[in-house]
Amino acid sequence: MNVLVAKDHEDLSRVAASLMLARLAWKPNALVGFGQGETPVRAYELLVEQLKQGPVTAAHLRALKINEWLGVADTDPISCEFHFQQHIVQPLALPPERVIGFRGDVRDPDLECARMRELLQREGPLELVILGLGLNGHLGWNEPGDSLARSVYLSELSESTQHHSLLGGIEHPPSFGLTLGLGDLLQSTHVLLLVSGEHKAAQMRRLMDKDISTQFPASLLWTHPGAVCICDEAAFAGCRGLGLPDVVHTETAAPT
């Protein structure tokens, strides 16, 4: 995994959008997995702007929503679908046949997982997936544990995930979520991990220790040859002075 340190969140977003655009220029019909949350929003905005301006466009882009809260309707503002529609699908006017995602308000989550596994097998693998670093080191909603799921499954959400920014502090947050398994994420040709803010500094420091463990799912990205982590200076604060030779600061070198 390559690590890029951006000056601030705006710089992080600019670099992330450029990398996403480069993948779409290389493979216009790429299947891209979009993670939800506060960190990638600005990068998505910049990506949309650039795709609308051309010459690279979203004319063949296939978009996948990587997770969803169980028991939450698509129209609910706390749903991942609402975020996905607001920041990716609607701005790019993507037709339904090029949009893939979990349905949260299903009666049988096992059947929904089976449906998504079938779709991934037919449409995948992912060319690119955009992820955030959980406060407990999760990826997607693959929570720390003695083992990690290979493919799509119903995840029991940790307490920190139940306080996700999308949920807005609701009184009774979802206890389970539908998510791509870690194997699905690692099968993606390229992985983009975005880490922003001083509240992520402890986990970023832990990531830079490079100790690989299922108790810290994000650490498995060190095994992925196409993974790139972009963090801002606030998130990287705890890593300063470590003498890390494989870290590039965006102010001194442009990503390729």
Domain extents for the chain? 8-185
pLDDT at 8: 96
Parallel, antiparallel or unpaired: strands 176-179 and 190-195: unpaired
CB contact at 8 A, 152 and 184: yes
Contact between residue 217 and residue 143 where contact means Cβ atoms under 8 Å apart: yes
Banded model confidence at residue 112, pLDDT cuts 50, 70, 90: very high
3-state secondary structure the chain: CEEEEECCHHHHHHHHHHHHHHHHHHCCCCEEEECCCCCCHHHHHHHHHHHHHCCCCCCCCEEEECEEECCCCCCCCCCHHHHHHHHHHCCCCCCHHHEECCCCCCCCHHHHHHHHHHHHHHHCCCCEEEEECCCCCCECCECCCCCCCCCCEEEECCCCHHHCHHHCCCCCCCCEEEECCHHHHHCCCEEEEEECCHHHHHHHHHHHCCCCECCEHHHHHHHCCCEEEEEEHHHHHHHCCCCCCCEEECCCCCCC
Question: CA geometry: angle at 49 spanning 120 and 87, to 5°?
Answer: 50
Q: Which two tokens stand for residue 154?
A: 């119903």
Residues 79-97 have a mean pLDDT of: 96
Q: Which of 100, 131, 127, 128 is nearest to 37 (CA)?
A: 131
| pLDDT tops 60 at residue 116 | yes
Alpha carbons 111 and 114: distance in angstroms, whole number: 5
**Check whether domain 8-185 has CATH 3.40.50.1360, yes or no:** yes
Out of 82-91, 123-132, 198-207, 232-241, least confident range: 232-241
Q: How confident is the model at residue 255 (pLDDT cuts 50, 70, 90)?
A: very low
Judge contact between 43 and 16, C-beta under 8 A.
Answer: yes
Kindly state the average pLDDT of the residues 58-83: 95
- pLDDT for the residue 165: 78
